[in-house]
Chains A and B, each alone.
Chain A
């Protein structure tokens, strides 16, 4: 009699899922994903290809007369300043022909900072642009080269690169320290701050 009763009880007993821990875990996962959520930020990019014959030749490609090379230097007096407070000297085609100097200016605009070019003489970057356009017009085969010294702020290099694209150059290269020089002179490649 008692046996039959317990069997009946077992049938009557409902199978209950313990939902509380599952909900705990689920909420934790939910909170994790909500916290790590970072909306996709849209950016721009400038694509370039590094030379593939690296390591084969140690000769530095000479800049041709019809090509455009922009050299960016920082005067020694500005080496200890913050990068964006430095003066940048623009030179062309391996010469000492200066375009002039450019000083960057960080302007505050509604809490955001952006870079402007406060020019002295005011036409400096326009001169660079005119030079690039002229070279491109005179020979359609011409190449462009950026020769920026290590201490140049990145914003200037990108600005010049952008001007070269605007002048419709398709072959743009950067000059670095030639590898044979690094090997021979044991230059401190580990520390760009020390490369003048």
Chain B
């Protein structure tokens, strides 16, 4: 009897312990790996078919500060589901900013103004000086941030044209208001397919 008791106790005491330390090490390493390689600047890129241009520069995406605008093709098969779900609307411009479709071009311009923040860098690029003055005497400088326009190859050029105009122009406003409200973006990049090395 006593012998049997002792045996049972020894089995109970023998706990099956998994050593979790190496697993946690590996998992943490994986997390750090994914955090490092996840490029958050890619979140603004919509899926679309870019036009081809073999004379283009390869885009390294070196400027983290740049502003990205997508012009999607609402008729492309990839967007049929999104139209159904209401993520995209045919009555609005096909312009996507940060994964969301803009309500109208005025909203796009306001958003660009905030992102471009043109008067913040007064001493950069003096050759782009506009020669205008604020009411308080401060000079106005254009934004140094580039704007990347990613337009689907089958979309009409009119939307790119509209964006170009809205970079510096406020419809129906006088010149002073225009300087206060327009994004003052002057560097424009048009995205194309990656040029094939020759």
Q: In the bound complex, what is the Cα–Cα distance between A192 and B24 (angstroms)?
A: 56
A177 to B31, CA, bound (A): 52
Q: Mark B136-180, 1 if CB is under 8 A from A, else 0.
A: 000000100010101111111111111011011101100100110
Interface bracket on A: 35 or more
**Which partner residue on chain B sits nearest A182 by CB separation?**
B171
- Smallest distance from the beta carbon of B8 to chain A beta carbons, Å? 22
Count, chain B residues at interface, CB 8 A:
75
- Chain A binding site: helix, strand, loop or mixed by DSSP? mixed
List chain B residues, Cβ under 8 A from A113: 49
User: B58, A115: Cβ atoms under 8 Å?
Assistant: no
> Which of B45, B52, B106 counts the most chain A CB atoms within 10 A?
B52
- Whether the Cβ atoms of A44 and B153 lie closer than 8 Å is no
How many angstroms from the CA of A33 to the CA of B93 in the assembled complex?
32
Bound complex: CA A55 to CA B104 (Å): 22
Which residues of A lie under 8 Å from residue B188 when comparing CB positions?
47-50
**Is B87 an interface residue when CB atoms closer than 8 A count as contact?**
no
Q: Is there an interface contact between A45 and B191, defined as CB atoms closer than 8 Å?
A: yes
Partner-B contacts on A (CB < 8 A): 19, 22-23, 26-27, 29-30, 33-34, 36-38, 40-50, 52-56, 72, 82-84, 113-115, 148-159, 161-162, 165-166, 174, 176-177, 179, 182-183, 186, 189-190, 192-193, 195
